Chain A
Amino acid sequence: EIVMTQSPATLSVSPGERATLSCRASQSVSSNLAWYQQKPGQAPRLLIYGASTRATGIPARFSGSGSGTEFTLTISSLQSEDFAVYYCQQYNNWPPSTFGQGTKLEIK
């Protein structure tokens, strides 16, 4: 089973600033890495797949990068609606498909 590790657990950033979230896989997942956003009381929403492709309707301020074992989600200029929990997920080696433990992005 591939273990996904996200850092930091909590990130405090001011609105308008840049946020950088990290995700590491215990072995290579190629580019088969997705990022999801989850707001309180809501279901997760797909943001990024293929490590760097934005899902339909996702604003351009969200970008993903990386391949192999190291991945990054960058939000270029934080809006109020971006404060949420973000999960990475590998879908290269399955079953099981595995998620990171999440990074909570909070307002500084």
Chain B
Amino acid sequence: EVQLVESGGGLVKPGGSLRLSCAASGFTFSSYSMNWVRQAPGKGLEWVSSISSSSSYIYYADSVKGRFTISRDNAKNSLYLQMNSLRAEDTAVYYCARGRQYYHFLFDPWGQGTLVTVSS
């Protein structure tokens, strides 16, 4: 069974940093692109960042470019999101999601999410 389990969320002050992790199992992690998608409380879905299977291609939403860094460790079947200079508007549930083969921005499945709260 394909599983994605996020961790690392929590409460952080504005300007602070946080590192999210996503542990993958049940599939050949190194063969798939991976993504982060977030959802602010009571709001819709916003794509955040994507990384190709070999880390050759990395993309960010304009809203996080220069502050967030996506990475992966294929040996550990893990995806990461380093978030720096956090703002109140970054408060959201952050989901990791696998990209489909050939359609890297088609997300299936999703993890259960981890909540990041940016507040003083």
Q: Judge if A107 is at the interface, Cβ distance under 8 Å.
A: no
State in angstroms the CA–CA spacing of A97 and B106 once bound together. 9
Number of A residues, CB within 8 Å of B: 22
The reply to whether A101 and B44 form a contact with Cβ atoms under 8 Å apart is: yes
A 39-58 contacts with B by CB, 8 A: 42-46, 49, 55
State in angstroms the CA–CA spacing of A42 and B109 once bound together. 12
Q: Judge if A87 is at the interface, Cβ distance under 8 Å.
A: yes
**What's the minimum C-beta distance from B30 to chain A, rounded to whole angstroms?**
22
Q: Judge if B32 is at the interface, Cβ distance under 8 Å.
A: no
The reply to whether A49 and B95 form a contact with Cβ atoms under 8 Å apart is: no
Among A45, A97, A100, A101, the one with the most B-chain Cβ atoms within 10 Å of its Cβ is A97
The reply to whether B113 and A94 form a contact with Cβ atoms under 8 Å apart is: no
Given contact pairs A34-B106, A87-B44, A91-B103, A96 touches B111 in the complex (Cβ within 8 A): no
Residues of A within 8 A of B60 (CB): 95
The reply to whether B111 and A97 form a contact with Cβ atoms under 8 Å apart is: no
**What's the minimum C-beta distance from B102 to chain A, rounded to whole angstroms?**
11
